[in-house]
Structure formats: C-alpha cells, structure tokens
C-alpha cells in the first residue's frame, strides 16, 4: 500500500502545474459538497462544523459525512396516506383533556389525532413487562405485531420467540420487526422456528455498505418498542427484549418503565407499526385483514395521544411536545431520562421553569452504559444548579426510564430519551397523557426513585483532569452521542 501511494504521488507531481490542479480540485470539492450541505438548511453551528471538517479533511471528512452525516428519510407520502385510509388512526373528535393546545400541536406534527384509553397500567421493570406481554400473546386470536430496537437471543428472547411460534402454529398472524443495528447480536437463524411456523420477520434499515450509490443508514434507527395484540391490547415504553432488563434473571438488570394500554389508543399504535412494517417490507396486502380485526371505537376515560418522530419528519414532534409541556407547567416539572443531552430549546424550557419558581427536578443514572454520555450529561449540571433545578443521580442500577411529569395531569412516557439523538435521528414513539390518575401513579413511582438517588451537590469536588475537562470534551460530541 505505501508503494502504491508513493507511485500515485510521483505521478501527480509529474503533471504540469500540479499545485494549481490540486487546489482547483479541492476548491471544486468544497464548493459542490458545501453547497449540498448548506441547501439542507441545518442549524448553523452544525452546518459550519461539517463544512470545516470537509475542507480540512477532504477524504476522511467526506467518508465520515457520508456514513454518519445527517439524513432525511423521505417516505412515500402517498403510501402513508393509503395506509391511513385503510386503517384510520382514530376519532379526530376525541376529548383532549385540559390542555387542548398540546393535543392540537401533537396532531399537527404527527398526523395522529387525540385518543383515549380504557386502562393504563404502568409496568415497572422487565419481569412484570414480559409476564404481561407473554400473557397477551398467549391470548392472541388474530394477529401479534411486535417492533423492537433490541432483541437478544437469550432466555428472555427465547421465551418471547417460543410464545410467538406457538401462536403462529395456531394460525395467528405474527409479524416481528427488528432494528438491524440494535438487534444485530441476534442471528437470523434464531428466528428460523418462527418463520417455519408461518411467522414473518423483517429488519428495519439494514446496512447498505455494499451499495455505494446509497448512503448507509448507520444513524437512522428505529428505537421504538411496540407490541399490538389483536388490535385490542398494546404495549410500549422503554423496555427491549433482553435479559439485561429482566430483574428476574439478573440482579443488575436495568431499572425501566413500560405501559400496557387498552382502548382506542391501541389503534394509533397499530397504525405506527403498520406504517413501519409497510416501509420496511413494501407490503400492504395485510392491511385489510388487520383493519377488519380492529375492535369498534369505544371512547375511554383516559385522554392520551401517541407521539411519533423520526428523520422522516422535520417537525421533531416529541422534541416539540417535551418543550411545549414544560412551558405549560404551573407547579412542577419532573424529568427522568437515562441520557440527558438537551437541545438549546429544551434546556431553555427547563431553566426558565426553574427560574420562574417551579419545582423542577432531573433524575438521571449515576452511571450509564456509555461513559461519554455520562460525562456529557454532567457538563450541564452547573447551568441547571444555577437556575435552581434539583439534580438527582440514581445509583443502584442503570436507570433506563424515560418520563416527564408536568403538574398534576400531564405525563409523557415512551422510548425517547431527552437527547438530540432521540429528538432528531431515531424513530421514536411516546405516549402523552392528560389524566390526573396516570400522572399521580407516575409521580408516586418517581418519588420512590428519588429515595435511591442522592441529590447532586453544587459544591461537589470537580478536579480539572478527571471531571471538568472530560465533561467539556464529551459535550463537544453531544450531537453524535
């Protein structure tokens, strides 16, 4: 290889006016790619960072941008519209709770109308979640739809797979959609029994490194966790299918939160799954049978709305609703997230609420599964303290819960972290509740977590080399975390 590079260099130097040619080539490269990046109308800081990187490192910078740079997924809008004609999202006139402006914002940014639920059950940790999911799968009579970011071929994954195999053999339509990166540790042969039984398996955004004419989808992942059984019961939240989140098998399992839902809101989650499945597979023939199996509309007592976001939309619905909900607060804002890498708008909303005298609290894990994320999150603690925000670090286990509680009625629970990746890169789904009972249940849960989370002191020791400098450097990488 060094000999080849040396020969190329000699050949270039033999060209007349090679300096001018090289400079002209570099200039054309910067102008063409720079124009492409500028026309995407990204935030100025990000745009300038990419431009400087491409100019300073012509080859390496281009490769990094090509693989990891920001992308938009332009789903086929006509196909999406057809999906929604075949399977409407719900009643556009459903009641919206006490914050109708948030419901209107959610519908405008997601296309999903406000809805209601008959029953909302908060499932704490994996053992309770998997038990409820296995029970629902065993009762399936028409279809089982599952979409997960991480599916591991361990004891938990095997139990879920075997339950799906049993229902597929009984004639139930089983569709399993997995993220190709998040579930990369799970070999396809692990699902051979499911496919042999008649179940269907699909992968969301498989890598495309062999197709040089298409940019790879390295960053654009489906972080959603959705299960819909017979259109009557749905599960969503933060828990994946893995022993790492099953405290019945591992004492060091993640601390997490999931939801079991019944009522009209199931229709919204069904539509989210259907759109993702149709996008990943190109199939639409199953829509009529799924629509026919959906229970008739029956409004429930709990006002709830499904929020979706991802790189197929520039509205960043979950980001907007987090910020809007915080701005709408009158008494308290309690935020629980494993990864805290806020946008400027989100940070402004939190600090403004605290400066206005509201009870603003942030609960994060003392240690995450990423050292960089832990350091980056701590880089904001000084600003939070200065505004009067109380910061707590959960120390027992890896805290994986993603929840926002505002006042006594607003609660947001789902798959999205309070970070830039979840706000703009990942495909996410969260539930926005406007209901005092759900909010009270979430408040009691979070209060219990505070008991295992010492408050971070603003006078804590922060040595330059082991704290302040690493935190500042990690913050520079925040958009990539």
Residue 230 annotated among the catalytic residues of the structure? yes
Mean of pLDDT values over 311-323: 93
400 catalytic per annotation: yes
Among the residue ranges 39-53, 232-246, 413-427, the one predicted with the least confidence is: 39-53
CA quadruple 453, 454, 459, 463: dihedral positive or negative?
Answer: negative
Question: In sequence order, which residues have a C-beta less than 8 Å from that of residue 258 and are 6 or more positions away?
Answer: 122, 123, 128, 129, 225, 235, 236, 237, 238, 239
Q: What is the pLDDT of residue 220?
A: 82
Rounded to an integer, what distance in angstroms lies between the CA atom of residue 148 and that of residue 226? Answer: 7
Distance CA 470, CA 463 (A): 10
This prediction's pTM? 0.87
Give the per-residue pLDDT at 317. Answer: 96
pLDDT value of residue 2: 60
Task: Kindly name the residue from 205, 223, 258, 319 that is annotated as catalytic.
Answer: 223
Tell me the mean pLDDT in the region 95-120.
Answer: 90
Give the mean pLDDT of the chain.
Answer: 87
Helices (H), 311-343: 317-327
Q: How confident is the model at residue 57 (pLDDT cuts 50, 70, 90)?
A: low
CB 347 within 8 A of CB 326: no
Using alpha carbons, list the distances in angstroms from residue 166 to 96, 198, 256, 281, 379. 39, 10, 28, 24, 49
Predicted confidence at residue 424, as pLDDT, reads 87
Q: Are 325 and 410 in contact (CB under 8 A)?
A: yes
pLDDT tens column, 238-254: 999 999 999 999 999 99
Catalytic pick among 125, 400, 419, 435 = 400
CB 436 within 8 A of CB 442: no
Higher pLDDT pick, 60 / 114: 114
Out of 230, 276, 434, 435, the active site residue is 230
Which stretch of 52-66, 96-110, 202-216, 395-409 has the lowest confidence by average pLDDT? 52-66
d(CA 283, CA 273): 13
How confident is the model at residue 267, as a pLDDT?
95
Instruction: Please tell me the predicted confidence (pLDDT) of residue 79.
Output: 44
Which of these, 127, 165, 119, lies nearest to 300 by C-alpha position?
A: 119
Question: Considering Cα of 254, then 256, then 260, then 266, what sign does the dihedral take?
Answer: negative
Q: Whole-angstrom Cα distance, residue 219 to residue 394?
A: 28
Alpha carbon of 25 to those of 10, 38, 62, 140, 236: distances in Å?
18, 19, 14, 62, 51
Q: What contacts 300, CB < 8 A, 6 or more positions away? A: 116, 117, 118, 119, 262, 263, 264
Q: What is the mean pLDDT of residues 420-431?
A: 93
Question: How far is Cα 430 from Cα 310, in angstroms, rounded to an integer?
Answer: 12
Q: Which of 372, 149, 113, 356 is nearest to 242 (CA)?
A: 149
Main-chain phi, psi angles of 178, to 5 degrees: -125, 145
- Residue 427: exposed, middle, or buried by beta-carbon count in 10 A (0-12, 13-18, 19+)? buried
Tell me which of 225, 264, 419, 434 is the catalytic residue: 225
**What CA–CA distance (Å, rounded) separates 111 from 166?**
36
CA distances to 60, 218, 221, 327, 421 from 207, rounded to whole Å, are: 20, 7, 11, 39, 19
Q: What mean pLDDT is predicted for residues 279-308?
A: 92
- Dist CA 87 CA 270 (whole Å): 9
End-to-end CA distance of the chain: 34
Q: Would you state the pLDDT for residue 338?
A: 96
Instruction: Give the count of beta carbons closer than 10 Å to the beta carbon of residue 407.
Output: 21
| Strand pairing report for 233-237 and 257-262 | antiparallel
pLDDT on residue 313: 86
Question: CA 145 to CA 448: how far, in whole Å?
Answer: 33
Whether pLDDT at 259 is above 60: yes
> In b/e form, how buried is each residue of 93-121, taking b as 16+ CB within 10 angstroms?
ebbbbebeebbebbbebbbbbbbbbbebe
Determine the Cα–Cα distance for residues 301 and 283; give it in Å rounded to an integer: 35
Tell me if residue 154 is catalytic: no
Q: Percentage of the chain with pLDDT > 70? A: 78
pLDDT at residue 78, as a whole number = 38
Closest CA to 116 of 433, 438, 414: 433
Q: What is the mean pLDDT of residues 29-33?
A: 68
Concerning whether 390 is annotated as a catalytic residue, the answer is: no
Q: Of all residues in the chain, what percent carry a pLDDT higher than 90? A: 64
Which one is catalytic: 407, 419, 434, 435?
Answer: 407
pLDDT at 82: 47
Which pLDDT value is given to residue 31? 74
Residue that wins the pLDDT comparison between 10 and 122: 122
| Calpha distance 391→25 (Å, rounded) | 52
Specify whether 319 is catalytic: no
The predicted structure's pLDDT at residue 396:
80
pLDDT tens, 324-368?
Answer: 999 999 999 999 999 999 999 999 999 999 999 999 999 999 988
- Tell me 155's DSSP state: H
> CA 479, 480, 481: angle at the middle one, nearest 5?
100
The one catalytic residue in 143, 205, 319, 402 is 402
pLDDT at 466 > cutoff 90: no
Mean pLDDT for the stretch of residues 205-233: 79
Pick the more confident residue, 47 or 429.
429
């Amino acid at each position: 290889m060094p000999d080849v590079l040396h020969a190329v260099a000699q050949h270039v130097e033999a060209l007349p006016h090679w300096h001018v040619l090289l400079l002209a080539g570099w200039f054309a490269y910067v102008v063409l790619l720079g124009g492409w990046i500028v026309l995407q109308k990204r935030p100025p800081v990000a745009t300038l960072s990419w431009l400087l990187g491409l100019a300073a490192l012509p080859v390496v910078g281009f490769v990094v941008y090509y693989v990891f740079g920001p992308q938009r997924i332009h789903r086929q809008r006509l196909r999406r519209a057809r999906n929604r004609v075949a399977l409407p999202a719900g009643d556009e006139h459903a009641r919206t709770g006490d914050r109708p402006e948030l419901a209107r914002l959610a519908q405008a940014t997601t296309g999903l109308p406000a809805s209601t639920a008959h029953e909302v059950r908060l499932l704490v940790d994996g053992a309770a979640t998997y038990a409820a999911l296995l029970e629902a799968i065993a009762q399936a009579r028409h279809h089982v739809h599952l979409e997960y970011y991480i599916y591991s071929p361990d004891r938990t994954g095997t139990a879920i797979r075997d339950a799906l195999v049993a229902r597929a053999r009984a004639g139930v339509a089983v569709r399993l959609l997995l993220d190709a990166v998040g579930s990369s540790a799970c070999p396809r042969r692990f699902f051979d029994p499911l496919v042999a039984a008649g179940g269907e398996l699909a992968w969301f955004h498989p890598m495309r490194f062999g197709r040089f004419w298409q940019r790879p989808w390295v960053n654009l992942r489906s972080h959603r966790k959705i299960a819909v059984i017979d259109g009557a019961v749905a599960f969503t939240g933060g828990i994946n299918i893995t022993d790492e989140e099953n405290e019945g098998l591992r004492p060091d399992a993640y601390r997490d939160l999931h939801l079991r839902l019944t009522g009209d809101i199931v229709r919204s989650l069904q539509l989210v799954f259907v759109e993702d499945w149709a996008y990943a597979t190109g199939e639409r023939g199953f829509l009529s049978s799924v629509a026919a199996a959906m229970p008739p509309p029956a409004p429930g007592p709990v006002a709830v709305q499904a929020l979706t976001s991802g790189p197929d939309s520039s509205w960043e619905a979950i980001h907007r609703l987090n910020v809007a909900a915080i701005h709408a607060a009158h008494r308290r804002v309690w935020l629980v997230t494993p990864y805290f890498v806020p946008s400027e708008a989100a940070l402004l909303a939190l600090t403004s609420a605290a400066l206005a005298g509201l009870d603003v609290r942030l609960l994060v894990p003392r240690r995450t599964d990423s050292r960089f994320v832990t350091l980056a999150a701590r880089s904001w603690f000084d600003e939070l303290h200065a505004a009067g925000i109380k910061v707590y670090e959960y120390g027992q286990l890896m805290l994986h819960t993603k929840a926002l509680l505002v006042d006594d009625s607003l609660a947001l629970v789902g798959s999205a972290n309070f970070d830039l990746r979840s706000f703009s890169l990942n495909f996410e789904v969260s539930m926005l509740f406007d209901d005092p009972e759900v909010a009270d249940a979430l408040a009691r849960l979070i209060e219990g977590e505070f008991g295992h989370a010492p408050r971070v002191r603003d006078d804590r020791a922060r040595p330059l080399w082991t704290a302040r400098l690493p935190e500042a450097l990690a913050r520079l990488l925040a958009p990539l975390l």
